[in-house]
Amino acid sequence: MIQDEWRPIDIEDLEPNAWRALRREGSTLVVAGPGAGKTEFLAQRVAYLLQTGLCPAPYRVLAISFKVDAATNLRRRVEARCTAEEARRFVSLTFDAFTKSLVDRFRAALPQAWRPSQSYQIDMVNRPQVEALLQSALREAPPEWQAAILGLSGTTFEPRTLGSFRLNPDRPGAQNGLEFVMELWWQERLGLEPSSLTFTCLNRLAELALRVNPAVRRALLATYPYVLIDEFQDTTYAQYDFLESIFYGTNTDVTAVGDNKQRIMAWAGARSDGFTVFQERFHAERFPLLTNYRSSPELVHLQTIVGRAIDPAAPRPESQAPTEIRGTAAEIWRFSGDQAEATHVAEWLQNDMEARENDSRDYALLVRQKANDYEARLKKTFEEQGLRIRNESRAIGRTTLQDLLSEDFTSLALSILKLAIKRRAPQSWSTVNQALSNLRAYDPEDDAARTRAQDGLTSYISTLRREMARQPDNANIKRVVDSLSSFLDLDTLRAVYPQYATSDQLEIAVEAFTIHLTDCAGESKDWAECLDFFEGMSSVPLMTVHKSKGLEYDTIIFLGLDDENWWSFKRDAVEGRSTFLVALSRAKQRVIFTYREDRARWGIDELYGLLRQAGVPEKEFTS
C-alpha cells in the first residue's frame, strides 16, 4: 500500500500532530496528555508500519510498556486493526518481561562471575533491607571509601544507583566506595541458592548479556527496525540505559510516547530528565497531541489548571467528549467520619446508576494507598446497598487481580468456560478461534484445517460442559483448570506468546487463575455466577491511583483527600501533583473528592487551592 493512501482503521481520523508523528522517519517523542489517545496512536502507528510495507516481513515491530495490562491492551488493539498475519509480526511486552526473557535465554552466555543459578527467585527489596546493606558496607569498607558510602540513599540506591550502574564483565573487585557497595549487593543476590534477583538486577544482567554477546544485539536490531515505548515518563534509569545499550546509534526508529505531567513512578526510579535526554541522544522530533477524547470540557478545564501547576507551559487540550450530566462535573464531599462517608458514597452510587442506567463498572473508587484497608472499611456498607466492591489492587498468588485479568491465558480460559455454559457467546467463540489458529499453527484460509480445529474445540467444549454441570467447588475447579491447561497445551502457549516463552509468567497466571476462580466459586450458586464474579460484573472497582493508569471511567470517586493519605506530598510535591492529575483525569464525566473532618488537610492545601481555582464546590455531609 502507498503510504499516502493509508487511512486510520476503526477511527475517523488523527489530529494533525498525530499524523506528523505517525509518518515521521526517524525517532520521535510524542507528548500525549490525559485522554489524548496514546494507545490508539500506537496501534495506528503499528498498523501503518505493517500495512504500508515500511516494516515488511520478516521484520517485526516491538512495543515495550511499563504495565502488563498496557502491553496486553495495545496488542489486542493491533490484532483488531490488522490481519492475523500482520499481527503476528507485532510483539508487545513489558520492560520486565523483555529483560527477564533475555536473562533466561542467555544466562549461560553471561560471564561466570555474573551468572545466576538456573532457577532463581524474583525478589522485592525494601528500604530497611537496603539501609542494612549500606550499614554493613560502612562497617567493612576502608576508611577512605566511607564518605562515598554515606552519600548513598536507602531510598534511591536500588532504582537509581544500581539501575544506572553497568556491570564490568570481568568483575575485577571494588576500586572505590560505590563499587564496594555494589560488590556486596551482588554477592548477596547471586550468592544465595537459588539466586535472589530484583527486576532491576535482571535488567542489569540483560544489559550485560547484550554487551558481551554482540551477536545477540545484532539479532535484535535485525528483527526490530521499529520500537515503540509506552508511558515513557515512567521509564526508569535502568530501563533507559538498557534501551540505549541496544538502540543508541543504530538505524532503529524509536517512538516514545508519554506525558511528563503524569510521571508518578519517581519512587521506582523513573528519570525526571528522560524526555530531554531521549530527544538529544536519539535526535527525536517532539510532537504534542492537543486533543482530549476522554473528558468533558468541564473536566479538561480542571485538568489544565492542575497540569499547569506541574508545567506552566502546558497547552490546553481541546475536548472532543460531550457533556452528558447535569450539574457540576467536579465536587468535594466533606464528611463527619468513616461511616457517614461510606453510607453516602454507596447510596449515591446506587442512585446514580439507576438514574443514568449505568453499570457498576462505569464507576471507580480511587485511593492514594492501602486499597486493602479501604476495601475492609467499605465492604459491609456497600453490601447493605446491594453493591459489591472489587479491589483490583489485591494480590492473587504472585500477581495482582488487575494483572491476572490482563493475561492471555486468562482471556482464553475464560472464553472457553463461557462457551461451555452459554449456547451463544460470539465474542468468546471469535477469541478462541483466533487463538487456535496460532496455537494449532494452521492458515486461517485453510478451510480443512480450520474445520478440524473447530471440531476439536466443539468436542472439548461438550466434555467440559458435562464437568461444569456440577456446582463449582475446589475439586471441580482443579479438574477444570487442569483440563484447560491440557487442551490449550502450556508448552504451545509458551511457544506462541512471547511473554510466556522463557519466564515463569505462565505458571504464575495459571496459579492465580485457579486461586481467584476458587475464591469466586465460594460465593456462587453456579458456574455462570462464578464467571461473572471472576470478571467483576456488578462490582464497583477499587484501586490505587497507580493501578488506574491507562484506565477510564464515567465517574471517579477519589477517597481520602487528606494529609494522612497524602503524607508524602510535602516531601515530593512534584510527584504528588502528577499523581493528583492522573487520578482526576481517569474521569470522563465527573470526579468527586472525599474528605473526613477528623483528618487534617493543611499539608495538601495546594491541591485544594487548585480545586478552588477551578471553581470546584465543597459540599458538607455531617449526618
pLDDT digits (tens, 9 = 90+) for 191-227: 999 999 999 999 999 999 999 999 999 999 999 999 9
Range of the structural domain that residue 517 is part of: 401-535
Task: Classify 228 as helix, strand or coil.
Answer: strand
d(CA 82, CA 89): 10
Task: Give pLDDT, residue 392.
Answer: 93
Task: Name the domain count of the chain.
Answer: 4
In a domain, 154, yes or no: yes
Task: Give pLDDT, residue 268.
Answer: 81
Q: Which of 507, 535, 563 is the last residue of a domain?
A: 535
In a domain, 8, yes or no: yes
Same-domain pairing of 165 and 223:
no
Same-domain pairing of 499 and 416:
yes
Same-domain pairing of 275 and 343:
no
Grid cell for residue 19? 499524523
Q: What is the pTM of this model?
A: 0.90
Q: Which of 267, 291, 315 is the last residue of a domain?
A: 291
Same-domain pairing of 165 and 221:
no
CATH of the domain at 59: 3.40.50.300
Q: Supply the angle between the helices 38-51 and 16-23 in degrees, to the nearest 10.
A: 40
Same-domain pairing of 493 and 573:
no
d(CA 117, CA 97): 18
> Which of 50, 127, 122, 53 is CA-nearest to residue 89?
50
In a domain, 607, yes or no: yes
Q: Answer for the pair 316, 304: CB distance below 8 angstroms, yes or no.
A: yes
In a domain, 14, yes or no: yes
Same-domain pairing of 150 and 28:
no
In a domain, 225, yes or no: yes
CA dihedral 444, 449, 453, 456 (to 10 degrees): 170
Cell 513512578 sits on residue: 265
Grid cell for residue 338? 468513616
In a domain, 106, yes or no: no
Same-domain pairing of 329 and 450:
no
DSSP 67-131: SHHHHHHHHHHHHHHS-HHHHTTEEEEEHHHHHHHHHHHHGGGS-GGGPPPSS-EE----HHHHH
Same-domain pairing of 423 and 515:
yes
What mean pLDDT is reported for the chain?
Answer: 93
Q: Which of 291, 323, 345 is the last residue of a domain?
A: 291
> Which segments in the chain show pLDDT lower than 50?
none
Please give the single-letter amino acid code of residue 21: A
In a domain, 105, yes or no: no
Same-domain pairing of 503 and 485:
yes
Same-domain pairing of 258 and 370:
no
Cell 492545601 sits on residue: 605
Same-domain pairing of 127 and 37:
no
In a domain, 566, yes or no: yes
DSSP 506-574: HHHHHHHHHHHHHHHHTT-SSHHHHHHHHHTTTEEEEEEHHHHTT--EEEEEE---STTTTTTTTT-HH
Same-domain pairing of 219 and 256:
yes
CA dihedral 49, 235, 20, 45 (to 10 degrees): 20
Task: Give pLDDT, residue 444.
Answer: 64
